[in-house]
Structure 1
């Protein structure tokens, strides 16, 4: 599939207990399943209004937390004996600062949280991660505890890129890295050797829909193929919010007339891996894992 079963990479000591802060999408479910399979049944903290795969997640030991109750995150994790934490899944909205219930632990970090909110997603994730680690809970990436989720290197599908697709891959990759450096997004699309659309706040799904609509635009009319590239932001906190693709990404890329998708090997997640690869094969799209171009951080 995306990678051979990589159990030797497994990083947890015996007796470790992993908590999952579960947002939306399939990632929290896949992390929970992977941990259980490796013999570490998790404690799942469902983020209220965000976690949408409740039925799958409630089979594990679990609790719920509103974004505004973030001050009780650490006491809740400590109460359940959590030693390691995975932040998994999408959290679409920001906490309303006026509704956050103050606690002594939280008041100490509120100024840094407010500064981080002003800096964008990645700044906030770094602050949350540091705050947890200071209090004795180690933050780990989904790809570290369930390594089979990480994209492998090379062509992962039956079809590979043509020579012209590699020009698109390079153009989109450079564009994705440029917007990543500004903490704007992680993805870009190139058609005919040049970047034509960049991911903004609307996410990858919105980017692909926009590209589908652009196909009728004069400059793109008649141009075939094109590639979506998703990359980690330069210097990104790799333990949270890694770029990911899934079956829906493949469907939308096909609807946008693209020939394929490229992600960074080892630094991107392929969700619902077998279904994603099978769907790409059925639609004739390629999925490629690119070698990472900067050293791993964190």
Structure 2
């Protein structure tokens, strides 16, 4: 019988995806186990034996969900077959997150495992186009457009998937520390708005241009709403069909309580200003 394996990372996404699956086998990269989930750990240094184990358990499909940072590799732990992949793995790790993820997907597929996307397994987690709550002003919409254009240009540099824009100016750009760190930075520098009484600014998230959307989609949730509110922003927008919204009901409740809008906007074209 064909089974699906969930490769679970940290955060709330893996449990949300597991809830949409019928009796999945759950595994996690050593050191990145999701809190509150039973998951069998594996090491990247023994990747090929791990893939053999998936086949032995009847797995034909794999889905990745959750946050994983680059692991530290122990040369003494590589088995002979995985050791043959070391130059390829190290080259990918040195080339950026996108290259590393593509290499991992390629290795799984070369070993006859199909990679499933969140949109295939849990489509309700990815909102379609529309304003979910609140009402973005014309100034907010201009800031969203500006943020989308910024990410369309920085995406090929393998930076983050989020930006904070206020009154047409980029206040913060997501990098390796992540969205929460970006919003904390924005909160501490809110006084940089040119017009203190003008538009408060927005958070915008989108996949990188050309990103393989089967893995590492941007994610938002109730905590993102709290952090955006703490930063004094007017709302949150994202590329419709390309961003995961966790616990939608609670995110909407918190946004309404804080007076923030939530908007799944039409994806940007990436055209220059």
**TM-score (ref. length: structure 1):** 0.84
Correspondence for 1:228: 203
**1:73 positional shift:** 2.6
**1:191 positional shift:** 0.2
Correspondence for 2:31: 49
**1:67 positional shift:** 4.4
Pick the aligned partner of 2:120 from 144, 150, 157. Answer: 144
| 1:84 paired to 2:61 | yes
Aligned 1:3-22 pairs, distance under 5 A: 15-22=1-8
Cα deviations across residues 47-83 of structure 1 (Å, max 9, x unaligned)?
Answer: 33212323xx32xxx4222444434331232222111
> RMSD across aligned C-alpha pairs, in angstroms?
1.9
Cα deviations across residues 209-232 of structure 1 (Å, max 9, x unaligned)?
Answer: 000000134757555411111010
CA distance in 1: counterparts of 2:140 and 2:223, whole angstroms: 21
Correspondence for 2:234: 259
| 1:269 paired to 2:251 | no
CA distance in 1: counterparts of 2:45 and 2:263, whole angstroms: 39
**1:257 positional shift:** 0.6
CA distance in 2: counterparts of 1:45 and 1:244, whole angstroms: 21
**1:189 positional shift:** 0.9
SS of the residue corresponding to residue 41 of structure 2 reads: strand
The answer to whether the Cα contact below 8 Å between 2:167 and 2:201 also exists between their aligned partners in 1 is yes
SS of the residue corresponding to residue 173 of structure 1 reads: helix
CA distance in 2: counterparts of 1:42 and 1:290, whole angstroms: 33
CA distance in 2: counterparts of 1:213 and 1:151, whole angstroms: 30
Pick the aligned partner of 1:113 from 89, 95, 99. Answer: 89
**1:138 positional shift:** 0.4
Select between 210-219 and 188-197 the one with higher mean Cα deviation: 210-219
CA distance in 1: counterparts of 2:76 and 2:242, whole angstroms: 33
CA distance in 1: counterparts of 2:256 and 2:2, whole angstroms: 39
**TM-score (ref. length: structure 2):** 0.92
The answer to whether the Cα contact below 8 Å between 1:151 and 1:263 also exists between their aligned partners in 2 is no
**1:199 positional shift:** 0.9
Change (3 A) 1:124 1:220: farther
Pick the aligned partner of 2:185 from 200, 210, 213. Answer: 210
CA distance in 1: counterparts of 2:27 and 2:128, whole angstroms: 29
The answer to whether the Cα contact below 8 Å between 1:25 and 1:51 also exists between their aligned partners in 2 is no
Correspondence for 1:128: 104
Correspondence for 2:156: 181
Cα deviations across residues 187-224 of structure 1 (Å, max 9, x unaligned)?
Answer: 11110122221111111111000000001347575554
- Aligned residue pairs total 269
Change (3 A) 1:218 1:225: closer
The runs of 5 or more residues in structure 1 that have no matched partner are 1-14
The runs of 5 or more residues in structure 2 that have no matched partner are none
Change (3 A) 1:69 1:278: farther
**1:152 positional shift:** 1.9
